[in-house]
């Protein structure tokens, strides 16, 4: 491991120790209580050779990071800043990472009922769960053949995998609409 990568893992692990034992947390990108990224303002330590490809796979120096726990940890530390760049942020440092399209992927859409109304739970490749609602939205992604993406906290976004998109289509009514969180989303607007 290069020093920057090893230091990042050490700092990320230290930050995560404050939330160990926390139950699964809906509304976070990794299923754990979200880190207070908006309160952390560490020094920019430059670029680390971590990249996220178009399929949401994470790589370090060209080799795929296979440990789901490490990917999940890093996803919880990821934010997009006003400069349009993505950074992994710990309380003491931030490093820029390369993102090909969207940093996260929606791998499933599961119908639920919350407070008496239909809600779709969007399951992320990093273990997080979000409700499809006005906050997340559902936008077409022209760079992915019209598939949809959703907005997430910290400037992040998640693209639907092909399987998750087909699941969404199966759940739509005859007019191509999905109802979730008191909102109507048209899937036809995505084509």
pLDDT digits (tens, 9 = 90+) for 168-177: 999 999 999 9
**24 pLDDT exceeds 50?**
no
Q: Where in the chain is CATH 3.10.540.10?
A: 3-99
- Cα→Cα distances 34→16, 96, 129, 163, Å: 10, 20, 12, 27
pLDDT band per the 50, 70, 90 thresholds, residue 26 = low
**Pick among 3.50.50.60, 3.40.50.720, 3.10.540.10, 1.10.240.10: CATH of 3-99:** 3.10.540.10
- Cα→Cα distances 56→52, 64, 75, Å: 6, 11, 11
CB 16 within 8 A of CB 73: yes
Tell me how far apart the alpha carbons of residues 148 and 158 are, in angstroms, rounded to a whole number. Answer: 9
pLDDT digits (tens, 9 = 90+) for 66-105: 999 999 999 999 999 999 999 999 999 999 999 999 999 9
What fold is seen in the domain 104-190?
duf1285 protein fold (2.30.270)
Tell me how far apart the alpha carbons of residues 112 and 120 are, in angstroms, rounded to a whole number. Answer: 6
> Does residue 174 come out as left (phi exceeding 0), alpha (psi in the -120 to 50 range) or beta?
alpha
Q: Where in the chain is CATH 2.30.270.10?
A: 104-190
> Does residue 103 come out as left (phi exceeding 0), alpha (psi in the -120 to 50 range) or beta?
alpha
Q: Which residue has the tokens 């008496």?
A: 116
Tell me how far apart the alpha carbons of residues 174 and 135 are, in angstroms, rounded to a whole number. Answer: 25
């Amino acid at each position: 491991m290069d020093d920057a990568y090893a230091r990042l893992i050490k700092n990320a692990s230290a930050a995560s120790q404050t939330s160990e034992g926390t139950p699964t947390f809906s509304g976070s990108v990794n299923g754990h209580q979200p880190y207070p990224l908006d309160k952390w303002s560490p020094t920019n330590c430059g670029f680390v050779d971590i990249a996220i490809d178009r399929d949401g796979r994470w790589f370090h120096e060209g080799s795929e990071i296979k440990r789901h726990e490490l990917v999940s940890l890093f996803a919880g530390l990821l934010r997009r800043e006003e400069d349009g760049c993505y950074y992994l942020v710990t309380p003491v440092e931030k490093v820029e990472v390369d993102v090909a399209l969207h940093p996260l992927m929606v791998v499933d859409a599961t119908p639920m009922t919350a407070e008496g109304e239909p809600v779709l739970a969007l399951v992320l490749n990093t273990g997080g769960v979000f409700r499809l609602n006005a906050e997340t939205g559902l936008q077409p992604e022209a760079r992915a053949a019209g598939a949809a993406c959703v907005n997430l906290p910290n400037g992040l976004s998640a693209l639907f995998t092909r399987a998750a998109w087909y699941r969404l289509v199966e759940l739509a009514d005859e007019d191509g609409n999905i109802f979730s969180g008191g909102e109507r989303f048209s899937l036809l607007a995505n084509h």
